[in-house]
């Protein structure tokens, strides 16, 4: 009797798991439907799209829309495609992510292992900065960039994203370092290690999970940002998102939807690759500083 009950429970469990997997698969297919539409229509001639077959597989497969989106589409004065604006975004994202992550790590280190009077107030102010809407800082930031001579430049955008993102990176590293054994820091101090020696040799090598969190968060926010790029970049110095908007929203000529789809996928590819390569460490890094043990 016990064996029969056990077999019934096993079968019931398998049926339940199968049902759950089918439901999850259904939701996954529904979620992936926009990507399917974009991919399929990015390799079709425009005539097949305008003919009403957006959901159908292409009769004629072509990569011409991708080539045109990358190097020939009319975005600015010259038909340069998205290529120069893609590199503008790379030149903006890489230093902004690297600098904000390093400064966030230093801030987290100071706020947890080198306590000082008013450190809690300082951290509270930095945390408050995380909740300030983008629109509020547009005019003050424009004035600052003008004074520094960085208005309309890539390095101006780097500074904007650095200032806005350092509160988040500080929050991540501060919470992570809060559960790091302070005894190790004290022992290093007794052995004669200085401020930066302790940081580079003890804390930073153990900060891989939270550094991944910081990089993913910053990379995604900076790469996908449109408001700062449209407000503080000019002409050929615009980032990818602004160029893509100019391409899609163009009111002259024929609407080449296949080129638009290809351009949108090109714009989304870097963040997609970041999540594919490092996404599994994101939740792990967030949870690493949430509990002691």
Q: What is the pLDDT of residues 158-200, one digit of tens each?
A: 999 999 899 899 998 988 888 888 888 888 888 888 888 888 8
Going by C-beta distance under 8 Å and a sequence separation of 6 or more, which residues neighbour residue 232?
Answer: 141, 142, 145, 151, 152, 156, 157, 160
> Is residue 293 pLDDT above 60, yes or no?
no
> Is residue 282 pLDDT above 90, yes or no?
no
**Which burial class, exposed, middle or buried, applies to 58 when counting CB atoms under 10 A from its CB (0-12, 13-18, 19+)?**
middle
Which tens digit of pLDDT belongs to each residue from 129-158?
888 888 888 888 989 998 998 888 889 999
pTM of this structure: 0.82
Question: Phi and psi (nearest 5°) for 265?
Answer: -70, -40
> Which residues sit opposite 152 in a β-bridge?
233
Residue ranges of the chain assigned to CATH 1.10.3720.10: 83-288
Q: What's the chain's average pLDDT?
A: 84
Nearest residue to 96 via CA among 107, 108, 88: 88
- 285 vs 232 pLDDT, higher one: 232
Which tens digit of pLDDT belongs to each residue from 226-235?
989 888 887 7
Grouping H, G, I as helix, E, B as strand and the rest as coil, residue 157 is helix
Crossing angle between the packed helical segments 257-278 and 83-113, to the nearest 10 degrees = 30
CATH number of 83-288: 1.10.3720.10
Q: What is the pLDDT of residue 17?
A: 87
> Which stretches of the chain are DSSP H helices?
2-42, 46-50, 64-71, 83-113, 119-129, 138-148, 154-178, 182-190, 195-198, 208-224, 227-232, 240-248, 257-278, 280-288
What percent of the chain has a predicted confidence (pLDDT) above 90? Answer: 22
- Specify whether the backbone of 235 is left (phi greater than 0), alpha (psi in -120 to 50) or beta: left
> Is residue 9 pLDDT above 70, yes or no?
no
């Amino acid at each position: 009797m016990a064996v029969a009950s056990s077999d019934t429970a096993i079968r019931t469990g398998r049926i339940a798991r199968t049902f759950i997997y089918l439901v999850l698969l259904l939701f996954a297919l529904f979620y992936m439907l926009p990507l399917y539409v974009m991919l399929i229509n990015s390799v079709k001639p425009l005539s097949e799209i305008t003919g009403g077959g957006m959901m159908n597989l292409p009769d004629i497969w072509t990569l011409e829309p991708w080539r045109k989106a990358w190097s020939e589409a009319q975005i600015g004065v010259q038909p340069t495609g998205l290529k120069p604006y893609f590199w503008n975004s790379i030149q903006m994202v890489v230093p902004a992510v690297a600098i904000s992550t390093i400064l966030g790590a230093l801030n987290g280190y100071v706020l947890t292992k080198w306590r000082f009077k008013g450190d809690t107030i300082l951290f509270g102010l930095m945390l408050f900065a995380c909740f300030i809407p983008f629109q509020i800082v547009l005019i003050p930031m424009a004035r600052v960039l003008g004074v520094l001579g960085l208005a309309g430049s890539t390095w101006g955008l780097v500074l904007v994203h650095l200032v806005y993102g350092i509160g988040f990176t500080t929050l991540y590293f501060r919470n992570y370092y809060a559960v790091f054994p302070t005894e190790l820091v004290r022992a290093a101090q007794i052995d004669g290690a200085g401020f930066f020696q302790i940081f580079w040799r003890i804390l930073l090598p153990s900060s891989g999970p939270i550094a991944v969190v910081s990089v993913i968060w910053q990379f995604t926010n900076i790469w996908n940002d449109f408001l700062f790029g449209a407000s503080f970049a000019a002409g050929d110095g615009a980032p990818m998102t602004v160029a893509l908007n100019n391409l899609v929203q163009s009111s002259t000529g024929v609407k080449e939807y296949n080129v638009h789809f290809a351009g949108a996928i090109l714009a989304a590819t870097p963040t997609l690759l970041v999540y594919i390569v490092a996404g599994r460490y994101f939740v792990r890094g967030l949870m690493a500083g949430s509990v002691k043990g």
